[in-house]
């Protein structure tokens, strides 16, 4: 009964823009890109460095931990495979099931993320879009017997906020998840320029930059994904969205990477 009512109210759908052949073609291309591994992404590093608003810091003596970008990739490298080891794909979630009650985890992560941002950008201010508090948390848990058959389990917390540094503002979402549910790659975001991330403890990931929209709606979107499975069985994803008319992003990719790498930003304190 409800279904018929809803179908009737929806009326005739406009022509579909979903093209199954295009979806298949795109996935085939992504498969090829994944075959190249991070080597393909390193080529795109040059491009991400040219995105004017994205000031990627170079690791120096005071900041040697996480490296953004990779070495140049030669044609022979590409012919023989990636110079960087292929990222691990986990068959299931790593690490033990977190026992921390969600309210406690959110309160702890609130402080940890706040501290991590202030460590890389002293003076940064954070507030929710509606002005309520600094962060809005979303908890995702599709693990355990409630998960549908064949569905990949997922467990994590997402903190969203609006961050301002020296007059520049961006929407920010920081997600801490158990590693293993999904493996992202540079090729997963067609059209974006991509820089690989590597850490001394086995962390690996990437950061992409992409302009979306047009005119006054033009926004720069940065997507950073860091696999810390080898360190603490977590992955950290940071998404930053900046209105292009706001004068550039408040945080560099290097700063975002350091937030993602912060050991306190974890599911296992």
The span from the CA of 220 to the CA of 216, in Å, is 12
What tokens appear for 187 in the block?
């090729």
Residues 169-198 touching another protein, rule: CB under 8 A, are 171-173, 175
Q: Is position 162 an interface residue for another protein (rule: CB under 8 A)?
A: yes
| Cα 238 versus chain centre, distance | 4
Beta bridge partners of 175: 158, 237
Cα–Cα nearest to 236, from 261, 214, 215, 254: 261
- Which range of residues in 21-29, 71-79, 95-103, 248-256 is near another protein by CB under 8 A? 21-29
Longest CA pairwise span in the chain (Å) = 67
What is the distance between the terminal CA atoms of the chain, rounded to a whole angstrom? 50
- Which range of residues in 47-55, 68-76, 106-114, 168-176 is near another protein by CB under 8 A? 168-176
Which of 10, 75 has the CB closer to another protein? 10
Radius of gyration of the chain (CA): 20
Which of 118, 173 has the CB closer to another protein? 173
Q: Among residues 14, 61, 64, 131, which is the contact residue for another protein, using CB under 8 A?
A: 14
The span from the CA of 217 to the CA of 219, in Å, is 6
Q: Least distance (Å) from another protein to the CB of residue 9?
A: 4
Q: Is position 214 an interface residue for another protein (rule: CB under 8 A)?
A: no
What residues make contact with another protein under the rule CB under 8 A? 2-3, 6-11, 13-14, 16-18, 20, 23-24, 26-28, 30-31, 129-130, 138, 140-143, 146-152, 154, 158, 160-162, 171-173, 175, 219, 221, 239, 241
């Amino acid at each position: 009964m409800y279904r018929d009512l809803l179908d009737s109210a929806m009326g005739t759908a406009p022509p579909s823009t979903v093209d199954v052949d295009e979806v298949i073609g795109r996935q085939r291309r992504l498969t090829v890109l994944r075959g190249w591994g991070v080597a393909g992404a390193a080529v795109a590093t040059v491009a991400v460095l040219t995105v004017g608003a994205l000031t990627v810091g170079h690791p120096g003596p005071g900041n040697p931990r996480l490296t953004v970008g990779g070495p140049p990739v030669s044609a022979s490298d590409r012919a023989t495979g990636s110079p960087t080891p292929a990222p691990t794909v986990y068959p299931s979630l790593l690490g033990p099931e977190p026992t921390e009650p969600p309210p406690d985890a959110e309160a702890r992560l609130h402080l940890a993320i706040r501290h991590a941002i202030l460590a890389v950008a002293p003076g940064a201010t954070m507030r929710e879009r509606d002005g309520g508090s600094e962060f809005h948390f979303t908890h995702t848990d599709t693990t355990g017997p409630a998960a549908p058959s064949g569905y990949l389990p997922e467990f994590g917390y997402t903190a969203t906020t609006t961050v301002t540094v020296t007059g520049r503002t961006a929407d920010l979402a920081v997600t801490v998840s158990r590693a293993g549910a999904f493996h992202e790659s540079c090729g997963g975001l067609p059209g974006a320029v991509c820089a690989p991330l590597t850490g001394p403890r086995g962390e690996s990931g990437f950061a992409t930059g992409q302009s979306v929209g047009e005119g006054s709606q033009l926004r720069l979107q940065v997507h950073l994904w860091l696999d810390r499975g080898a360190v603490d069985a977590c992955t950290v994803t940071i998404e930053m969205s900046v209105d292009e008319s706001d004068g550039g992003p408040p945080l560099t990719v290097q700063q975002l990477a350091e937030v993602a790498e912060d050991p306190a930003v974890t599911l296992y304190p």
